[in-house]
Amino acid sequence: MKTPGIVIAGITSGVGKTTISTAIIQGLLKRGYKVQPFKIGPDYIDPSYHNMIAKRRSRNLDVWLMGINGLQVSYLENSIDSDFTVLEGVMGLYDGMSGRNNFASTAHVSRILDLPILLVVDTKKAARSLAAITLGFVKFDRKIRISGVILNNIASERHLRYIVEAFESKIKIPIVGKIFNDKNLIYHERHLGLIPRMELNAKLQDIIRNNSKIVAEHLDFEKIIQIGKKMNYLDKSKVEKFSLDLVNRKSRFQESKKLLDSKVKIMIALDKSFNFYYQDNLDILHKRAKIEFFSPLEDSCVSQDTAGIILGGGFPEVIADKLETNSNMRRSILDLAQKDIPIYAECGGLMYLTKTISGYKNNKKKHKMVGLFDADTIMTNKVTLGYTEALLNNNQTYLGKIHKVRGHEFHYSNVVINNTDLELIYDLKRGKGIRNGRDGFHTYNCIASYMHTHFMNSTFSDRFLECCVRYLRK
């Protein structure tokens, strides 16, 4: 049985895809549907907004990170018990890894899953011209199925009339949403996008839920549901083979730790500073280990029965003063690292493991961090953004002989290395990394890099967990 679904795409970034996606989720729930949300591309923040409305964990779908089979597996496994799927796109519809093709774009994912697209058009500063722009999107790639249009930020009824008249004469695709400009519907942003849900107080979260209800009133759900049901089956043969490979990998891992009486315990940092995790990654770890969460902000230490630590991305720079104040936690992590506990850190986690963080909002005060690596983190006004591909140049880490690792980087900071002998284990074929196309600090049993990774299409998590097993056996 197939699950109906739609993709919410934009003509550019910033046209209101998240607001409209949560509104569609809200409206479908009101009509009795069980909705599974997804976010296309490497994004941690937008899924947290989906979660607020859907009461189900939103999943990321990224071709570069997961591979086509991995993406299909995640989609099928997580939508099997839902009545409708809503996929929020990334950037503009056709924006992917290059200008040559659609690879890793919203259009690419919609094509892989054979899902219809609702194109969000920001109507500010134009009227009849919007029909020309939309027609260009429709004709740009005939294989991409744009099945509906949502008009956002309409200035007035007259403005709407001009747009509708232009569309009626040129475009046969139905308009399924007409949303008027409302300053109350604008969400606060920061340098990496929307502010994460964990930093929003109860009042702001209620505002977001209420906004979703308001926007939903301006959407034609009869047409949206009808469009969502016009999709085909995926080719499940390759997906089933890929799923079997994942099961075999799991069996081999279980065999490697069969002498243990219970699952290894992994402590994962989760609070206002560290909260960038792919739900699929957490699920993969949860199936193979005992997962517990801790707060580098609030807790005093990491428990001694821990077999491994994961420090995800986030915004440690925003409340670096509070991270500095919790000296007990910083000492606890440093002590465990020096005792060879396996640690995996990404971006914000990397920053936390350096000696200091400074420069947020031009504040030059250096806030002390863990100090595992002889380097300092300095915030900048320049973004480093894009997919990464790394070649491992060191086979002495717990990653063993993994040759290639794919990921992405997204940050407004530089890590300044004080000790020129500090080892960098990744040579980047794609991406910037910590310095000169190299990434990944390594010491003891700790790996820390700017690169965010996905566990679906690699043995990365297997190697980390195997190291945790060896650590327990010492």
Give the model's pLDDT for residue 198: 53
- H-helix or E-strand spanning residue 94: none
Report whether 102 contacts 111 (CB < 8 A): yes
- Where does 5-234 sit in CATH, by number? 3.40.50.300
Report whether 199 contacts 165 (CB < 8 A): no
In the chain, where the domains are located: 5-234, 261-473
Nearest to 70 by CA among 406, 451, 311: 406
- Which residues 6+ apart lie within 8 Å of 316 measured at CB? 273, 274, 323, 348, 351, 352, 357, 369
Give the model's pLDDT for residue 202: 63
| CA angle at 472 for the pair 469 and 473, rounded to the nearest 5° | 90
417 - beta bridge partners?
375
Does the active-site annotation cover 347?
A: yes
Nearest to 74 by CA among 112, 107, 104: 112
- Which residues 6+ apart lie within 8 Å of 89 measured at CB? 7, 8, 9, 10, 17, 40, 41, 106, 109
Nearest to 472 by CA among 261, 167, 177: 261
Give the model's pLDDT for residue 192: 44
Report whether 422 contacts 441 (CB < 8 A): yes
Report whether 36 contacts 54 (CB < 8 A): yes
Backbone phi, psi, residue 56, to 5°: -135, 155
Identity of residue 180: F
Please count the other Cβ atoms lying within 10 Å of the Cβ belonging to residue 221: 17
d(CA 90, CA 389): 20
Give the model's pLDDT for residue 242: 52
Give the model's pLDDT for residue 234: 57
Report whether 43 contacts 109 (CB < 8 A): no
Consecutive 10-residue runs of the chain (474 residues): their mean pLDDT?
Answer: 89 94 97 97 91 93 95 92 96 96 97 96 97 97 96 97 95 96 65 50 72 94 96 57 53 47 85 94 93 96 95 95 98 97 98 97 94 97 94 94 93 93 93 96 97 90 94 88
Give the model's pLDDT for residue 190: 41
Helix, strand, or coil (residue 328): helix
d(CA 140, CA 9): 15
CA 355 to chain centre: 27
Please count the other Cβ atoms lying within 10 Å of the Cβ belonging to residue 99: 7
Q: What order of strands is seen across the sheet that includes strand 5-10?
A: 59-61, 35-40, 84-92, 5-10, 117-122, 146-154, 175-180
Give the model's pLDDT for residue 245: 56
Would you state the structure tokens that stand for residue 44, as one six-digit string? 């941690």
CATH topology match: 5-234 vs 261-473: yes
Catalytic residue, from 301, 347, 467, 468: name it: 347
Helix, strand, or coil (residue 176): strand
* 261-473 CATH, one of 3.40.50.880, 3.40.50.720, 3.30.1060.10, 3.40.50.300: 3.40.50.880
